[in-house]
Structure 1
Amino acid sequence: MEIDHLIQHYQEIIKCYEENQKTEAKDFNVFDFMSEIFGLGETKHSRIIAFLLNPDAPHGQGKLFLNLFLERLELKNYEDDHWKVYAEKGNADVLIQSTYPIRKTIIIENKSNWAEDQSNQLYRYWHDHIYLFHNRDCIKSRDKTINRIIYLSPHENKYYEEHSLCKPEKGYEECPEKKVPIKIDNWFFRSEFRDWLYECLKNLDEHSQKISLFITDYINYWEATNFKHETIMNGLEEHFTNKQTWTDLKEILSKKQQTKINWIENFKAKLKFLSESSGWKFYQQNYGDFRIYPSDNWGICFVYEYEKGLSIWKEGITIEQKEKIKEDLIGSISDFHFIDNEFHNNTTYVMVFNQNEELMFKDEEEFAWEANNTNLFDTIANILKPHLNEETRKMFLEINNKLE
């Protein structure tokens, strides 16, 4: 079959490219090393981007990188704003916000690893981080001079999808907007993002050698990533000009997407049954966020996220509030460790499973495959079962009451 030949040719191109990379003389790149040893998923790329943008990060450049970024967005009067930068906050990859003198929000949706758009994804981000941030003020939430959403992808052939802009059927009834009301800015790692990094380099002084090398390595990493993408696409182009191959490939990709959805739905169904048969309540925030609550009143819960693993989570909890419940949780749940401050730049994580690495995956594709073809669910179920009892349920409800 021609499709078999296509797959074989793809594997040959990858093998040839990797062999050339090993034999060609080139300088050591810290990001190539990280990618090979640890993997560079979207979460890690988001944290790198947030690190550079954060004026309080230990890169020694203060607001320099952030100001150059805001300048490229053509925002006005940003110099005196009190900016805070977060990675992976409330499911936003990178969140940049100012509360004084004017409330402003910038969301970066990072698609560094080609993840597909989830249904209503950009709408949920706009609602949670712009609409609610402006206290449900529709006029301010539509104002592009104080709100931006940047869709950052590796290549010009990946744009945001229209279905991600639309309002979900349930859960957002209080908001009148049926679609994200501000224009989305498409940025690409190989052009707009790269140009910003070059601008950052150009404005460094002679004493900033370490951060200069860091940024240079990141630029080179993306140059190599783009070259690899172009090499693969050029090598496969002859197959794509065959109409039957093109049609077959489209059908295969469509079936792959549906298979992935089915696998995740099966995982969800098993986790839901485990929760409800134990007297708990199940809720799925999105394809990568599964929650188990002690009752319909929400509050503290167990959460499984494929990028962060298994945790105990409480919406809106502060570091000070955590201290009030620390002793209760540590004394009852020994296979999780307590998070005194932040986890992934977020205070809402209260405890994290001690051996989370085996439950974490770089993207939705890997998670879906593992969920269907390995003992992932059984592993998670064996961790949760000892805790999904009446004693823990009552403790969680008492914690909710204590924090009200």
Structure 2
Amino acid sequence: MNEKIFNPNPKDLINVIDNLYSSMNNYNKEVINLISNFEEENIKRYKEILDKQGNKLKFNIFDIITDKWKRENLHSEILKFLFENCEDFFNDFLDLIEIKNKEEYSNAEITNEEAKIDILIKSENKAIIVENKINWAHDQNEQLARYYKEVKDEYKKVVEKIVYISPSKDKKPDSQTFGKDEKIKKEIENIYKKIIGFDGNENDLVSCLEKSRDKLKEDLEKTKNNLDSENIHKLFFINHYIEILKRTGAGDMSEVELNFFKEVMEKYKTDKDIFKKINYIGEMYKNLSIARINNLVERFEGNYNNQCFWREFYSEKRGIKYEIDIYTEDYQYSGLQLFSREEMQDKLEQDNKDIKAWLEKHNLFEGFYIHYGRWSKKFKFPEEENKLYEFMEKLIKLLEEDIESIYSGK
């Protein structure tokens, strides 16, 4: 994204505006009003793409095979497997590449690397050539032209589509891949179809897979299949592959950014300071995490660094400090942690049991979970910021009055 035009992510922009508006001076308010008047469609589209990128699994089976998922052949083999074993996905893919008569391929033969073609889908009379460039592989000399002539002349098939799977709209086929023969080139251009692995749009490969995955989910819910069913395993596999495709691609923001720029130029063309004001919002956004920490320090008299607010409470009975940390670098959440300063693992585990029992005794344990060995609790920002403050007031008061009851003596 062009930082001279727009620093913050629109996903968080409205949150920034709402959170800071009350303390703004007149110049700040002018900037806020300027940003707030932008078309909601651009902000909404940006948010949709960011949301799709943000859904990450805590564990992905493909990470076990590390660099192998980055190789071109693996993607071709996975797609072949899905075509052969997930009928819904195969049909959705045929819709995506605009095949009019899907029945033609109801008993298709699907191969990898036949005649060096990544994926070749053959019916009795027709064929679909799929060239996989998901990992940015270069186009070989007259590659698509050679494949087209091979299938047409040697296999005696009508090539209905040549599909070029790209990781981004910026990855385009070299002109030479269509060949030098003008007649062949024109024939290929008439059946050529480019699709993107992932760019956040409805017609990318990820969306096609998600459509098929959702059908699997519906079927599983209807039939109440057990955990060992074939569809459960397919669902698991597709979910993990979708995430890998998202990693190889990138949400395409360029159209949103261009619309934003045009809107700025049209609506505010008489305002010579327009880009200074937008940059000003960007600077506020970058400093928002620190502003949140400073607010916590002011309210709760703790310590801070650029990463978090913290406050310590000494237990004479335990002979050690208990600590509250609050992290604000995540612009969607404030993360609270409660833990002991114990460094020995076995004693730390017992302290965590004691802390849990103490929180439960005071009806404060709901929402806590262990994160990196510490009891943690998240509050949405900015929706639950007041809820965080109320929780902190209760927690601090109880720690000041009842800290000695945390230690169980074990």
More helix by share: 2
Structure 2 length as normaliser, TM-score? Answer: 0.40
Largest Rg, 1 or 2: 2
Superposition TM-score, scaled by structure 1 size: 0.41
